[in-house]
Structure 1
């Protein structure tokens, strides 16, 4: 495989057989059966910009390799699939290529079997707002649930974001025996999409010229994604592929009350500040 993610594997931790079995059982739900060390995982907490990042990467690969197939909300999960716990994924990389690794989307908390990880984080205040409307639109939470209640929800609220983010950050700097985690911020993509996408593609060992990076960004614009959403919303596709595209802005939680912002800060300030968010 020519272009595997340019993260050195070093030496992997060697566990005793009982330890390996226990570890597999614990983390198996967020790991596909045919995983290999070359797999690259795009990890994020829900509503942190993972869909846009997948579009950017897929379109960058499309223009770099001169692929005719368009990238849209109907086929993005075929190009960059979502994790299937206890299942198998196709052995090829994006667009069926064998010279680049599989790229796999996941919302999982820390998993030691994700050897190569691109972790996308976002201001937790904006995550809470986006996640609230996303779940509400999909009727996955009570329609009468207020955003203040949502932020304090034991399953979806800010404490879950804090746990998820800390699990990846502290394992990243705890020395993971060959596991490499690269952290990117959604807000940095908004400020300089070109620079951030180039940096992500560098992780794959793929150098893409400036013009093609700009072309990939244009193909992945919010307008293009919304057009794709409208085009495919009437087709029989799984729910994961629809109702993803909202404002996508960095608002610092402008819709939230002062009490809600304070509650978020009390839960997330430590890890948020480390990541560059001043709550």
Structure 2
């Protein structure tokens, strides 16, 4: 009887060990709530993602930079893709204030590293209380409609998955962590506005503003602008290689082309908040003309 108990215990330990391994190797699709380190992946299905063709072997900054740069965005704004582009063109790892195990084993070995040994540090939070935490910041802004939708997809299907249509019709239940779609849009629109307001009006360090839509349309110039802000030089060969491999595995494939989950009331609220943030950007430009180069024409092409 004792021997049987020992064998059962040993089997349980082995099963737990392999469960942890599968958890660590879980692909980008199933990383629910992984940004914040407060939840666990809801399944352990393993799949083989295509290998990443890095232009340079990833390395740490050596020596580390004395100045830590934040890469700020609302979730769903393309932060992971921009980190990937920066790692491609520089070969330097990027960090994060979070520990996302799915990302850690899929090209981002510096998850949860926040010092000068990394190129930039991902955050979705407000400016830190400690004034020296980040010497400067790159603020990645995406149209709130697309950003909120992308993060809703992440909550249901991970970094590159897409939520099923049924998810937009479910009502909130107390035992579930995700709110119904209407409540989610209203709540997250307030969060979207607040995050950008704090970094554009309260943060005392220099901020380099990047619009996701412009990054997509003119990746080379936008990436070069970020590198100039970071005072980091790359060769034309390195830039060409990064652009040739710019898609990677970190951009969500669009689905439900015939389905629009936003109502007319939602669009009205989205437009109001978007315009308020654009006004903040223009005001920031007036106050820091050497940091932001944004024309009226640009505002018509973004967000």
TM-score by length of 1: 0.59
What runs of 5+ residues in structure 2 fail to find an aligned partner? 1-35, 37-63, 93-102, 172-179, 282-298
1:165 to 196, 214, 238: 196
The answer (yes or no) to whether the contact 1:159–1:268 under 8 Å persists in 2 is no
Q: 1:207, CA displacement in angstroms?
A: 2.2
Correspondence list, 1:125-140, <5 A: 125-137=145-157
* Equivalence map 1:190-209=2 (5 Å): 190-209=216-235
Q: Which runs of 5+ in 1 are unaligned?
A: 1-28, 30-34, 64-71, 84-88, 95-101, 227-244
Does the 8 Å contact 2:66/2:116 carry over to 1?
A: no
Following superposition, the deviation at residue 191 of structure 1 comes to 0.9
Q: What is the distance in 1 between the residues matched to 2:209 and 2:267? A: 24
What's the counterpart of residue 213 of structure 1? 239
Q: Deviations over 1:242-272 (max 9, x none)?
A: xxx31479x9x96522211112234443113
Q: Deviations over 1:3-26 (max 9, x none)?
A: xxxxxxxxxxxxxxxxxxxxxxxx
Do the aligned residues in 1 keep the contact of 2:68 with 2:116 (CA within 8 Å)? Answer: no
**Hey, what does 1:69 align to over in structure 2?**
none
Map 1:1-279 → 2, pairs under 5 A = 38-62=67-91, 74-79=105-110, 81-82=111-112, 89=114, 93-94=117-118, 102-111=119-128, 112=131, 113-137=133-157, 143=167, 144-145=170-171, 146-153=180-187, 157-172=188-203, 176=204, 179-221=205-247, 224-225=248-249, 245-247=251-253, 255-275=261-281, 276=299
Structure with higher Rg: it is: 2
Q: How many residues align?
A: 192
The whole-number CA distance in structure 2 between the counterparts of 1:255 and 1:273 is 27
Given that 2:67 and 2:116 are in contact with CA atoms closer than 8 Å, whether structure 1 keeps it comes out as: no
Aligned to 2:109, what secondary structure does the other structure show?
helix
Q: Is the 8 A contact 1:41 1:117 kept in 2?
A: yes
Closer/same/farther in 2, CA of residues 194 and 254 from structure 1, 3 Å limit: farther
Q: Secondary structure at the match of 1:152?
A: helix
Q: Give the C-alpha shift of residue 125 in structure 1.
A: 1.1
Q: CA deviation at 1:78?
A: 1.9
CA distance in 2, matches of 1:44, 1:127: 10
| Residue deviations 1:102-146 (CA, integer Å, cap 9, x gap) | 4211111122432211111111111111111111225xx995244
Structure 1 residue matching 2:127: 3-state secondary structure: coil
Hey, what's the Cα distance between the residues in 1 that align with 2:67 and 2:221?
24
2:249 alignment partner, SS class: helix
3-state SS of the aligned residue for 2:108?
A: helix
2-side partners of 1:248 and 1:105: how far apart?
A: 24
How far apart are the structure 2 equivalents of 1:92 and 1:127? 28
Equivalent-residue separation in structure 1 for 2:121 and 2:254 (angstroms): 22
Alignment-derived partner of residue 240 in structure 1:
none
**RMSD over equivalenced CA pairs, Å:** 3.4
How far apart, in 2, do the equivalents of 1:119 and 1:130 lie? Answer: 18
Q: 3-state SS of the aligned residue for 1:43?
A: strand
**Superposed CA offset, 1:129-187 (max 9, x none):** 1111111225xx9952443232123xxx1001100110011125xxx2xx211111111
Over 3 Å counting, the alpha-carbon distance change for 1:73 and 1:125 in structure 2 is same
